[in-house]
Amino acid sequence: MFDILPIKGGLDNVKGFFSGGVSVGLKSGGKKDAAFIRSDELCDVGAVFTANKFQAAPIKHFKRYGEIFQTNFILINSKNANAMTGAAGIDDINKIFSQLPSFLKAENPVMSSTGVIGCRLDTDKIIKAFELFDFNGKNSDAAAQAIMTTDRFKKEIAVRVDIEGKGSFHAAAICKGAGMINPSLATMLCFIATDASVPKELITTLLKDAAEESFNAISVDGDTSTNDTVMLISSGKSGVWDKEAFMEALKFLTKYLALEIVRDGEGSKKVVAFEVKNALTLDEAKKAAKALSNSLLVKTALFGEDPNWGRIASTIGASGIACDEDKLSIYYDDILAYSPEKKQFDSASEAACAKVMKKESFKILCDLGMGDKSYTAYGCDLGHEYVNINADYRS
């Protein structure tokens, strides 16, 4: 038996970790743009990275340490992705880390970046952060702010997990990413710290499983930015380990943050769950659900609050999965919009569906009636703000 209890604040709750964020002038207007997370002892670390073939320099740098290693220092910057920068991009990271204060006793320091692709880092500015950071501070809030790019709000969460007869551990995370991750390729970064005693050989596996049902449900596999990173770092300071409880906590954190990313969709106002039920295979359920959450026409219909179920049907039909118009049903929350017996909207159910669409959050359910596999993907609407934000992102 265990309880997962959401608690206030972020990484500050986790034993052994310090964090903070400062402004070094990468962003304009004095906004925070450099963050660190460090531990007073060496920690096991695992990560899940983008499937993009052009992985950014910080990812290549991380991978140089091999599959399983320990670290006590994570540096993060926003505004510049350090991607497509070749060997020089890795040299820049090494140069930055060569200036880390010696009292930190940094071992295998890792970096993570987000922002514009194809520009060298301003290493001098980033090194300046080492004079500004409060290395013994617990400023998770500042770290969460410093990693934001187009995010409208910071993303941070913490839980305490009480396990009957074993004691408690903590897990917390900060995250950045806004909305229409795919196909827009906006970068998402997530850093999870825990004092649970996670066996080092399990770290990456458990993280992958959690990401599959959370961050991957808001993105099409393989269609990701150059920098996407989910990292898990474990101090083990609680001395407590319970695989089931830890996995539940990890799923809770990652699912919560994934939905926060959707909710923060660039310029979006709605979070919609696209549940595809009774598909022939799990892969087909995923394929159709993600096609819905990524369709431009579906997204604009959400923005227009138009219960145009024809676009839902057409997107499913175009997704390449097995389906049959004489077995399909489509619901907006619990309102039936289409079924083989009721192919046309009557005005009452159209009005009821339109009312559902006015909500900030609702579900579009497609029952394929083909098999028994289901998957839910999450998406948001696309409106004018999205165009404004992305037409001239670099300036």
Helix (H, G, I), strand (E, B) or coil at 27: coil
In the chain, % helix, strand, coil (3-state, to 5) comes to: 35, 30, 40
* DSSP per position, 71-136: EEEEEEE-SB---S-HHHHHHHHHHHHTTS-GGG---S-EEEEBSBSS----HHHHHHHHHH--TT
Query: Pattern of binders to its own copies over 360-389, x per CB under 8 A?
Result: ----------------------xxx-xx--
Please say which residue, 14 or 217, places its beta carbon nearer to its own copies.
217
Give me the helix-helix angle, 86-97 and 123-132, nearest 10°: 20
Active site residues: 187
Paired tokens of 283: 């892969």
Residue 358 touching its own copies (CB under 8 A): no
Cβ 95 to its own copies shortest distance, Å: 17
Cβ 109 to its own copies shortest distance, Å: 24
Residue 344 touching its own copies (CB under 8 A): yes
Cβ 67 to its own copies shortest distance, Å: 23
Report H helices in the chain. 57-63, 86-97, 123-132, 140-146, 181-184, 203-213, 243-263, 282-294, 296-303, 309-318, 347-357, 384-391
Please say which residue, 153 or 393, places its beta carbon nearer to its own copies.
393
Cβ 86 to its own copies shortest distance, Å: 6
Residue 313 touching its own copies (CB under 8 A): yes
Cα–Cα distance for residue pair 211/189, rounded to 1 Å:
12
Among 201, 304, 351, 372, binds its own copies (CB under 8 A): 304
Query: Pattern of binders to its own copies over 75-94, x per CB under 8 A?
Result: ------x-xxxx-x------
> Using CB under 8 A as the criterion, which residues of the chain lie in contact with its own copies when the complex forms?
50-55, 81, 83-86, 88, 116-120, 180, 183-186, 222-226, 294-297, 300-301, 303-304, 306, 308-311, 313-326, 338, 340, 343-345, 382-384, 386-387, 390-395
